[in-house]
A = this chain, B = another copy of it.
Amino acid sequence: MQAVDRAIRVLLYLASDEARGESGVSDIAKGTGLPKATVHRLLRAFSPHRFVEQNPETGKYRLSWGVFEVGNKVPGVIGLKMAARPEMASLCEISRETVNLAVRDGTDAVLIDKVDSNQLLRLELEIGRREPLHATALGKALLCEFGKDALAGVFGPEPWPAVTPSTIQTLAGFAAALEAVRRDGYATDNEEFSVNIRCVGAPIRNHTHRVIAAISVSGPAHRFPADRAKEVAPAVVQAAKNISKLLGHG
């Protein structure tokens, strides 16, 4: 399926930071390594479905709303957002920090929605972004039910890539962290994903009792000492439980 594979590569290029919104045919050809004529043909195939559109002024191409429309039809995304948003808003009000909602996809957590704090200093992660599971509170919450063998099947060989000096890089270390999550009901991230950022996360379950998502509160380390994390954790856990209840859990 060469043609489809190339088509997706063009889409991914347009979605990449490298493209920064608009790209010319030649840029895409260079970025993907495909011949210019091929890229142009693919773009023409996308246009009628509104996956891409051409800026009539510059002649350059950009992603368009057709792909946004399809992307928001991923099963669960609407229900999750609707169930979670009110709880996230009140959690943001309580904690005065940014609240994130994510699901698992492979070895990444995909950010589905967020509610920003109105603090001046805050973590800016875009919706749709990916974060490595092994380096985040969201990841620990999403994987909290996984045993050592299941984890080994998800992640590659050790040591796992270090995002910061504090990132957990071993199966044993991560399994111990998950044990703590199961015991306490919440997960933490002590500057394991980004230096100076701490998080507290909790798992969300659906009617089959399986963990299908997670929420987290994240803030700069100076506003998030260890005791503050413990203070916020019950609110995070409660919010996650409330969302789970809306999804039929409990």
Chain B residues with CB below 8 A from A44, complex form:
1
Chain B residues with CB below 8 A from A11, complex form:
70
Q: Which residue of B lies closest to A129 (CB)?
A: B69
A residues contacting the other copy or chain, number (CB 8 A):
55
Task: Provide the bound-state CA to CA distance between A82 and B117, in Å.
Answer: 11
Residues facing B in A65-79 (CB within 8 A) are: 65-75, 77-78
| B8:A49 contact, CB within 8 angstroms | yes
A221 interface residue per 8 A CB criterion = no
| B82:A116 contact, CB within 8 angstroms | yes
Can you give 19 A-B contacts (C-beta < 8 A)?
Answer: A1-B44, A7-B7, A8-B45, A8-B49, A11-B70, A12-B49, A15-B69, A22-B75, A50-B106, A62-B75, A66-B105, A67-B67, A68-B71, A69-B128, A69-B129, A71-B72, A71-B128, A78-B127, A82-B116
- If the complex has contacts A4-B3, A71-B67, A110-B68, are A50 and B105 also in contact, measured as CB distance less than 8 A? yes
A81 interface residue per 8 A CB criterion = yes
Q: B-contacting residues of A (Cβ < 8 Å)? A: 1, 3-5, 7-8, 11-12, 14-16, 21-22, 41-42, 44-46, 49-51, 62-75, 77-78, 81-82, 85-86, 89, 103, 105-106, 110, 112, 115-116, 118, 126-130
Task: Provide the bound-state CA to CA distance between A44 and B106, in Å.
Answer: 17
Q: How far is the CB of A141 from chain B (nearest CB, A)?
A: 17
Task: Provide the bound-state CA to CA distance between A66 and B15, in Å.
Answer: 11
| B105:A46 contact, CB within 8 angstroms | no
Q: Which residue of B lies closest to A130 (CB)?
A: B69
Known: A69-B110, A78-B126; 16 extra A-B contacts, CB below 8 A, are A8-B45, A8-B46, A14-B73, A15-B69, A15-B73, A21-B75, A50-B105, A63-B70, A64-B74, A64-B105, A65-B103, A67-B70, A73-B128, A82-B116, A86-B116, A89-B89
Q: How far is the CB of A63 from chain B (nearest CB, A)?
A: 5
Q: How far is the CB of A138 from chain B (nearest CB, A)?
A: 14
| B63:A12 contact, CB within 8 angstroms | no
Chain B residues with CB below 8 A from A73, complex form:
14-16, 63, 128
Task: Provide the bound-state CA to CA distance between A75 and B126, in Å.
Answer: 12
Chain B residues with CB below 8 A from A75, complex form:
21-22, 62-63
Task: Provide the bound-state CA to CA distance between A5 and B62, in Å.
Answer: 18
